[in-house]
Chain A
Amino acid sequence: MTAEVLLEHGLVVASALFATGLIGVLVRRNLLFQLLAIEIMLNAAGMAFVIAGARWGEADGQVFFIFILVMAAAEVAVGLALLLRLSHRFRGLDGDSVSVMRG
């Protein structure tokens, strides 16, 4: 399997993953699932980095993936804390019910 084919297939998978995540964010009303969908999108981006790194034989892609993992962990920590507060406050995790802070 040549490097170009690997790149092409890998990016198609990453795009599909990203689209899945995006659709998940857009259509789910449950904040927890939206958070999961965001994780999928992050992983799609990370996968694209790894594939690109493998294509050119560079370690940069993997380094970036570690960065993304760290950022995702931080995001989840903050996100889950917010979710806890929200579920206390609004008795549920419906994202649309939190639309009180509009302009």
Chain B
Amino acid sequence: MIDVCRSLPIWLIPALPAAGFVVLALVGARFPRRWVAIVGAGSVGAAAAATLCTAIGFLGRPPETGVIEERLWSWIDVGSFEIGFNLAVDALSLVMIFVVTFVGFLIHVYSTEYMADDSAYSRFFACMNLFVAFMLMLVLADSLFLLYLGWEGVGLCSYLLIGFWYSDPANGAAARKAFIVTRVGDTAFAIALLLLYKHAGTLDIQAAMAWAADNWAVGSGIAVAVALLLLGGAVGKSAQLPLQVWLPDAMAGPTPVSALIHAATMVTAGVYLIARTHVVFELAPTAMTTVAAVGAATLLLAGCSALVQTDIKRVLAYSTISQIGYMFLGLGVGAWSAAVFHLMTHAFFKALLFLGAGAVIISLHHEQDIFKMGGLRRRLPGVFWTFLIGSASLAALPLVTAGFYSKDLILWAAWSSDSGSPWLWAAGAGGALLTAVYAFRLVFIVFFGDERGHVERRPGLLILVPLTVLAVLSVVGGFVETPSALGHVSFFFDLLDPVLPPAHATVAGHGTEVLLQTVVAAITLLGVGLAFFLYVRRPAIPAAVKASPLGAWLCGLWLSGWGFDTLYDRIFVRPFVAVAGLLRADPLDEISSSVARVIAAGNSALSRTQDGRVRTYAFGIGLGAVIAVAVVVLT
């Protein structure tokens, strides 16, 4: 069994969704819907099966180097510059492909029903399959160059799917915004790759990392520069400060897209990138501090914004930004495994929440305003229970949810690690309070209270089954790694150990760890209680706060995401548009176009002499002869 699994080629995993894309893109429009659904979801399901097989092979007989490499072909070979098209599976990419294929498969199954009424059914699945293929390429890449291919590919698919309903210009604008803002980060990433290649002479991830560890001193300028540029790429893709503005607008796409791309997989690519290149970051303490600071600031700012949103998907979008902030915080204090663990549990519960939100949205005939929902607990019990589990996991309800275990590890590392500090811990703990409040605010407003909104249709099995599976994962997904006080299971960290070193802890206090866990658990419960009090018991209080001048100002600020859009509009967009307006007439082209104008004037003057009269021509000849003779005679 294990031998069979080890002999399964890895390239099958990205190739299956890619094949699905090719089939759907070429002939999908002529397929009946059932076939499209089978090809679309089936190709990702097959990739999930292949992933399972690879995982069995990997875990059953771990490779000695910790990496299964597969050399496919040479992609670029010019002189000494050679880029291979090679795939590699190690523990980190195994976790990632597991998340991408399994969560991706569940979302595809869900989409077969969610998108059933859409006229562009096959285009949707073609783009989704292409996305999964590129995402798998990204995480399986052996070299940073190939990783960059996947990185840009998922960006393209994100663009295509955000603007999926392109007949509304607002959706197209959101798609462009997402593409352009992430491109800022991608440029930094590309420069980092060039710098790395210039110094290390290779883009092969393992070789480049080994070279960097051997040749760069800790804190050297070049290491810091490369790390910060890589961080720039990660910040763009993962929607962190200061490039977080695109993610809330990206909710213009269909809900399964938000679940797959903008919650579970693509936006966590930045976390993956930093974990993958952690060697460079360890050489650059300044960059590490920056990562942690970006994470801490983002999780607080986005948490505040999530508190006041009224669109159910925007709440979840800001929540995603905030949760990825936690992952960055974990990365910044060197808790690589904890960050990847949170990435995995977040993929489960955030995909679940988005899919649950999608089920609510189509049940109410595309209503997204949470204040037009209410009391759906009795109407949509299946969605309610799974959404509740997802929210509990998001809020990190102690002991029973996956989110608790992963977030706890990050917070403990933020306190205890070398580069951690009580301030970072406090930011994380404050974020935990915000998370609990906004997560349960959503639950209480949408599912409790008076019944509002008319349920037009109940979700079918194809929607409920993925929700249930994800709900189960949102609970049990956390039990693969538990803190020492709670059973001390360390399966996940042991798995990642060969790839990602453990966090260096200076404050090794078992008592402190338990104390801090208790404090965070208490904060979480306090947040849930606060949400219950404010949105169920005394709904008048939030309304009164909103009505007061300070409250209204703060609400407006948070609703607009701290005014970043306005700021960027003033600083970048408007000057750019103004300059574009000035240059529209091409003033620099005057130099070359004036030559053309002189020639055109000469042409019209000379063509006037050709009037077709014999006498004029004869006169011209005579005059010319006289001048010629005069010149000869007089000189």
**Which chain A residues border B544 with CB–CB below 8 Å?**
none
Q: Which residues of A contact B614 (CB under 8 A)?
A: 31, 34, 95, 98
Q: A22 near B615 (CB under 8 angstroms)?
A: no
Would A96 and B607 be within 8 Å (CB), given that A22-B622, A26-B622 are in contact?
no
Kindly identify, within residues 66 to 81 of chain A, every residue whose CB is under 8 Å from any CB belonging to chain B.
Answer: none
Q: Is the Cβ of A96 less than 8 Å from the Cβ of B615?
A: yes
Asked if B612 is an interface residue, CB under 8 A from chain A, the answer is: yes
Which residues of chain B have C-beta atoms less than 8 A from A44's C-beta?
none
B610–A95 touching, CB < 8 Å:
no
Q: Is A29 an interface residue (CB 8 A)?
A: yes
A interface: dominant SS? helix
- Judging by beta carbons under 8 Å apart, are A99 and B618 in contact? no
Complex formed: what's the CA distance from A95 to B619 in Å? 14
Q: Which residue of A lies closest to B609 (CB)?
A: A103
Q: Does B613 contact A (CB under 8 A)?
A: yes
Give B614's nearest chain A residue, CB to CB: A95
Question: Using Cβ atoms and an 8 Å threshold, which residues of chain A touch B607?
Answer: 103
A98 B612 Cβ-Cβ under 8 A = yes
Q: Tell me if A88 is interfacial: C-beta within 8 Å of chain B.
A: no
- CA of A34 to CA of B617 in the docked complex: distance in angstroms? 13
Name the A residues within 8 Å of B611 (CB-CB). 99, 102
- Give the secondary structure class of B's interface: helix
Task: Give the residues in chain B near A5, CB-CB below 8 Å.
Answer: none
| In the bound complex, CA of A98 to CA of B617 (Å) | 13
Give Cα A26–Cα B619 distance, bound, in whole angstroms: 6
Interface string of A1-44 (1 = CB under 8 A from B): 00000000000000000000010011101010010000000000
Which of A95, A101, A102 interacts with B615 by CB under 8 Å?
A: A95
How distant is B633 from chain A, measured CB to nearest CB, in Å?
13
CA distance A70 to B615 in the complex (A): 25
CB neighbours of B618 from chain A (8 A) = 22, 25-26
Nearest CB to that of A19 among chain B residues? Answer: B622
Report which residue of A31, A98, A100, A102 has the largest number of chain B beta carbons within 10 angstroms of its beta carbon: A102
Whether B613 pairs with A96 at a CB distance below 8 angstroms is yes
Contact A99 B612 (CB under 8 A): yes
Determine the residue in chain B with the shortest Cβ distance to A27. B615
Report how far A22 CA is from B629 CA in the complex, Å. 16
Cβ of B622 and Cβ of A102 under 8 Å apart?
no
CB-CB nearest in chain B for A31: B614
What separation, in Å, do the CA atoms of A68 and B611 have in the docked complex?
30
- Expressed in whole angstroms, the Cα–Cα distance for A102 and B607 within the complex equals 9
Q: Per a CB cutoff under 8 Å, which of A31, A100, A102 touches B610?
A: A102
**A100 x B615 contact (CB < 8 A):** no
Q: How far is the CA of A64 from the CA of B110 in the complex (A)?
A: 104
B622 touches A101 (CB 8 A): no
Complex Cα–Cα for A55 and B515 (A): 135
- Bound state CA distance, A100 and B607, in angstroms? 14
Q: Are A100 and B612 in contact (CB under 8 A)?
A: yes
A22-B622, A103-B607 as given contacts; A29 in contact with B615, CB under 8 Å? yes
Instruction: Give the Cβ gap from B608 to chain A, nearest Cβ, in Å.
Output: 9
For chain A residues 82-103, which have a beta carbon within 8 Å of chain B?
A: 95-96, 98-103
Q: Report the bound CA distance from A27 to B612 in whole Å.
A: 16
Chain B positions 388-445 with a Cβ under 8 Å from a chain A Cβ? none
Give the CA-CA distance A13 to B618 in the complex, in Å. Answer: 22
Residues of B close to A31: CB separation below 8 A: 614
A99–B622 contact, CB under 8 A? no
Looking across the interface, which residue of chain A has its beta carbon closest to that of B607?
A: A103
Q: How far is the CB of B624 from chain A (nearest CB, A)?
A: 13
Question: In the assembly, what is the distance between CA of A103 and CA of B613, in Å?
Answer: 11
**Min CB–CB distance A83 → chain B (angstroms):** 12
CB neighbours of B610 from chain A (8 A): 102-103
Closest to B606 in A: A103
- Nearest CB of chain B from residue A32's CB, rounded to whole Å: 13
Contacts of A101 in B (CB 8 A): 612
Which B-chain residue is minimally distant from A101 (CB atoms)?
B612
Residues of B within 8 A of A102 (CB): 610-612
Closest A-chain residue to B619, C-beta based?
A26
In the complex, chain B residues whose CB is within 8 Å of the CB of A22: 618, 622
B contact residues around A34 at 8 Å (CB): 614-615
Distance of B289 from chain A, by nearest CB (Å): 77
Taking the nearest CB of chain A, how far is it from the CB of B621, in angstroms? Answer: 10
In the bound complex, CA of A29 to CA of B616 (Å): 11
Least CB distance from A72 to B in Å reads 17
Q: Are A25 and B612 in contact (CB under 8 A)?
A: no
Residues of A near B613 (CB, < 8 A) are: 95-96, 99
How many Å from the CB of A75 to the closest CB on chain B? 14
Query: B22 → chain A, closest Cβ, in Å?
Result: 58
B622: A residues at CB distance < 8 A: 22, 26
Which residues, 579 to 616 on B, are CB-close (under 8 Å) to A?
607, 610-615
Q: Shortest distance in angstroms between B614's beta carbon and chain A's nearest beta carbon?
A: 5
B308 CB → nearest A CB, Å = 75
Tell me the nearest residue of chain A to B626, going by C-beta. Answer: A22
Which A residues are in CB contact (< 8 Å) with B619? 26
Please name all residues of chain B whose beta carbon is closer than 8 Å to the beta carbon of A96 when the two chains form the complex. Answer: 613, 615
CA distance A26 to B610 in the complex (A): 16
**A59 CB to closest chain B CB, in angstroms?**
28
Complex CA distance for A29 and B618, rounded to whole angstroms: 12
Collect the chain B residues with CB atoms within 8 Å of residue A26's CB: 615, 618-619, 622
Least CB separation from A34: chain B residue: B614
- B residues less than 8 Å from A99 (CB atoms): 611-613
Cα distance A96–B614 in the bound complex, in angstroms: 7
> In chain B between 3 and 23, which residues have their CB closer than 8 angstroms to a CB of chain A?
none
How many Å lie between the Cα of A23 and that of B49 in the bound state?
Answer: 102
A22–B620 CA distance with the chains assembled, in angstroms: 12
- Closest chain-B Cβ to A69's Cβ sits at a distance in Å of 22
Chain B 254-281 interface mask (CB, 8 Å, partner A; 1/0)? 0000000000000000000000000000
User: What is the chain A residue whose CB lies nearest that of B625?
Assistant: A22
User: Among B607, B610, B611, B614, which residue has the most Cβ atoms of chain A within 10 A?
Assistant: B614
Complex CA distance for A22 and B625, rounded to whole angstroms: 12
CB-CB < 8 A to B615: which residues of A?
25-27, 29, 34, 95-96
Select from chain B the residue with minimum beta-carbon distance to A99. Answer: B612
Question: 19 interchain pairs (CB within 8 A)?
Answer: A22-B622, A25-B618, A26-B618, A26-B619, A26-B622, A31-B614, A34-B614, A34-B615, A96-B613, A96-B615, A98-B612, A99-B612, A99-B613, A100-B612, A101-B612, A102-B610, A102-B611, A102-B612, A103-B607
Q: Which 5 residue pairs of A and B lie closest in terms of their CB atoms, listed nearest first?
A: A99-B612, A102-B612, A103-B610, A99-B613, A25-B618
Known: A96-B615, A99-B611, A102-B612. 5 other contacts (CB 8 A): A26-B619, A29-B615, A34-B614, A95-B613, A98-B612
